[in-house]
Every structure is written in structure tokens, then in C-alpha cells.
Structure 1
Amino acid sequence: MGRRIGISGAIGAICVLLLAACQAPLNPIVPVGQAGYDAIDGAQPDIAERYALQAGDVLSISVFDEPELSQDEVAIDAAGNLSLPLIGDVRASGSSATQLARSIEQAYGANYLRNPRVAVSIKKARDMTVAVEGQVNLPGIYPWREGDTLLTALAQARSPTDVAKLDQILVFRMVDGQRYGGQFDLQAIRGGRMPDLALLPGDVVVVGYSGLRGAYKDVLQTAPLVAVLRPV
């Protein structure tokens, strides 16, 4: 009898070890805690550098020391162009705000101004969104607004479900073709023990990834996280 119990106990111990192995983290590349904040914070380019302009976006064009050439509000037309004083149509769609500013400087500098300086800012963007997936009551794609955070995104998604893993909130961000990610603890954020995370357009929030193993693996297989926390 004792031998039989010993064998049963050994088998049970092996099953426990196998179960623990099955529950191990899916990918150690995903940084947790402060490392997660470092990873995402290190992937925060200015919106003017990151957002690709498109038809329907409304911009502010400031030509320094040239108020008559500046435009408080000008929309990108359906063809993807801006119409500006003296220089006419300028291609805008597909460029970042910073790239467009350089193009306008070149156009004015070619025939009209000496060493022009131009600033372009986005006043109204046609499509700036964040996605919230996983264990939330209303997953979906939501409009992004300046100042949006992880908490505001989850509020738009009607909060995590009762079975959500609140210490396993993933945030993914694409910058220059590289995918960054971090794991965050919602309870720590709500309790003020960790800071809320500022979101950027295009961010993807996945709640409770341990219940979405297949989806999470697909994310990493199609676009793996960069191994380093910051671009080099």
C-alpha cells in the first residue's frame, strides 16, 4: 500500500510540474512592471513624426514671420493635397507633419522666401484610434484623443470582465516597423501604486492574455516584439 501511495504521489508531482510548465509565461520578451513602462515610454515618438497624414485631416500651417502665408485651418483634399498661398497644391497624404513642413519649406524657399521655417500641426485627425481586445465587455476600436490613457481606453471598452486577468494587461505599439510591448497591472494603476500609461494612436490593448493564448501567439508570430526595450 505504501509503495502504491508513493508511486501515486510521484505521478501527482509530475502532473503538477507539467501543469506549471503549461502555465508559464508565453514569451519572456514581454517586459513586466517598470520594464514594461520603460519599453512603451521608449517608443513614444512625437505625433508629428508618427502619424501619416490623409485626406480629410485638418492642419495648421505656420510660416514664421509670414502671417499672410500661414493657415490656421486647412484641410487635405480628396486627392491628398493642400492648397497654399503662392505655391498652390502641395502633396500631403502619406507624409508625417514634420515631412510636410520640410516640403513646404522647400517649395517656398525655391522661389519666394529665404530660409523659410514652417511648422505643421494636426488640428483634427480623420482617423486616430486605439484597439481594445480580450477580456473586456465591449472590445473594439475607439477614437484616440490627446491625453488618453490605459484607464480611459478600458473605460471606453466598458471595463474588464469578471474573469479578466487584471495583472496581465498587454499594450502593443508599432514604431518604424518595430513592435514594442509591455505588461501592466491594472490593480496597481487603480490603486496609485503604478502610473497610468499614456496611449498613442495605433496602440493595441489586450486584456487577460492568458485566456487568449492562441491570439497572443498569432500576434508575436506575425510581428514579433523587438528584443530590446528601446530602439538602437
Structure 2
Amino acid sequence: MEMGTIVSGGIQDRIEAMERMMKSAGGSFVSGLFGIVLPLWLGVGLLVQADEEPVYTIQPGDVLAISVWKEPDLQQDNVVVRPDGGFSFPLVGDVRARSRTVSQLSDVISQRLRKYIPDPVVTVSIRKMMGNRIYVLGRVHHPGEFVANRPLSVVQALAMAGGLTPYADTKAIRVLRGAGSHQQSLPFNYSEVEQGQHLEQNIVLQPGDVVLVP
């Protein structure tokens, strides 16, 4: 007898045994318990994995629209985030926006406005994503600076730059991140990713990242 037949028969015997137990006991409770215990009893595990997409964070150069419900004097449609990552807003003063989501920024403004307005309803939206800039340099067809209006991986950034030239070293691409003493050099092997290997290299780029193709 083949191994597949043995395994299949063993599982079927277990299912039938559980069904007999359920019928003899009766009741909806046992029926529900059967549905929960059966996968574990058969040695079957279920794994649900939810991949969360990165949420865009505000960067210097972004243009915001900020409004407070029923407060026409507190509506601004062209709030430019300064190079230091902040901006000024009436009654609130200086606010740090860099690396915050629109939801987080809305909460900060609401909290500060509570001194003057009971239960303020603040809406923050991004009108122009001008701060999320990445750079692709070296042996690509269209090197330069790119404004990303959504999270981009290394492969997507290379595609925006027109792809690799024939003489590009696909195994020695680097992602430069940070500045000064905090700068990192992250390796990226295009040949491996192209073959579906070590896909963790295909990281989501951060504002200011430089993809260098030798």
C-alpha cells in the first residue's frame, strides 16, 4: 500500500470517529467544538498573514490642506512643510510634521486646539507630495531625482529610472540611506531578486534614499 493511501485513510478514519462522537453527544455546542478541534486534531495548522502596506509620512516640501470644522478662520489650503519639518498654524503655533502620518498630525493639532475650541474636528490632507524624493544614479537609462507619490521599492525606483543599462553591475547595487555618520549602505542584488531569491532586499525606499547602480 502506498504512503499516500495510508495517510488519507488515517485522516478519513479520524473524521468518521469525530462524526460518530458528535452524533452520539448531539447539541450545537459539540458541533461547534468539532469545527474548532478538528483541524488541530488532524495536525492541520492555519496561518493568516496580513501584509500591511507602509503608510505615507509627511516630509519637508509637502503641501498640506488643514481645516477645522465650523471654523472658517482655521482653514488653510497651502501649508508648505519647511525644510526643518515643521510649519505654523493659527492658535497652534509651530508644529512638527516630518515623519508623521496625516492622522497623527490631525491628532496633534486637535489636542492643542482644545485650549480654545471644545472638541475640535481637524482634517489634514496632502495636496502635493513634493517631499518624498528619491535618487537613482549610475548605470540606468534616466538617472536623476524622482518624486514618489506612493511607497516605492528598489525595483520600482529602477523602473522609474528607465531600467538598467547593459553594462550595469546587477550584483553590486547599493541603497545609500541617511547622512553623515548615520549613513547606511544597503546591498541590493538585482540578479537574485529577478530570479525570485532573497526578496527581502527589495526594501521600501525612504525619502532621500539614493539608489546607486555601478
TM superposition score normalised by structure 2: 0.54
Return the offset for 1:148.
Answer: 1.6
Output the CA distance in 2 between the equivalents of 1:161 and 1:192.
Answer: 21
Output the CA distance in 1 between the equivalents of 2:81 and 2:175.
Answer: 33
Check 1:119–1:171 CA distance in 2 against 1; reply closer, same or farther (3 A cut): farther
1:105 is the counterpart of 2:110: yes
Q: In the alignment, which residue of structure 2 is the partner of 1:51?
A: 59
Return the offset for 1:125.
Answer: 1.9
User: What is the number of residues matched between the two proteins?
Assistant: 151
**Which residue of 184, 187, 191 maps to 2:191?**
187
Q: In the alignment, which residue of structure 1 is the partner of 2:146?
A: 142
CA contact (8 A) 2:134 2:147 kept: yes
CA RMSD, aligned part only?
Answer: 3.9
Higher relative contact order (CA 8 A, sep 6+): 1
Output the CA distance in 1 between the equivalents of 2:179 and 2:77.
Answer: 27
Long gaps (5+) in structure 1:
1-44, 209-232
Sequence identity of aligned pairs in percent?
24
Output the CA distance in 2 between the equivalents of 1:187 and 1:78.
Answer: 39
Check 1:74–1:176 CA distance in 2 against 1; reply closer, same or farther (3 A cut): farther
SS at match of 1:162: coil
Residue type at the aligned position of 1:108: L
CA contact (8 A) 1:172 1:204 kept: yes
Long gaps (5+) in structure 2:
1-53
Check 1:95–1:139 CA distance in 2 against 1; reply closer, same or farther (3 A cut): same
Alignment deviations for residues 147-180 of structure 1 (CA, whole Å, 9 cap, x no partner): 3211121112221222211011101222898222
Q: In the alignment, which residue of structure 2 is the partner of 1:213?
A: none
SS at match of 1:131: strand
Residue type at the aligned position of 1:184: F
Output the CA distance in 2 between the equivalents of 1:101 and 1:175.
Answer: 29
Alignment deviations for residues 172-203 of structure 1 (CA, whole Å, 9 cap, x no partner): 22289822221011011122113232222211
**Which residue of 150, 156, 177 maps to 1:152?**
156
Output the CA distance in 1 between the equivalents of 2:123 and 2:198.
Answer: 36
Output the CA distance in 2 between the equivalents of 1:193 and 1:104.
Answer: 45
Q: In the alignment, which residue of structure 1 is the partner of 2:168?
A: 164
Residue type at the aligned position of 1:74: D
Check 1:177–1:60 CA distance in 2 against 1; reply closer, same or farther (3 A cut): farther
Output the CA distance in 2 between the equivalents of 1:120 and 1:176.
Answer: 33
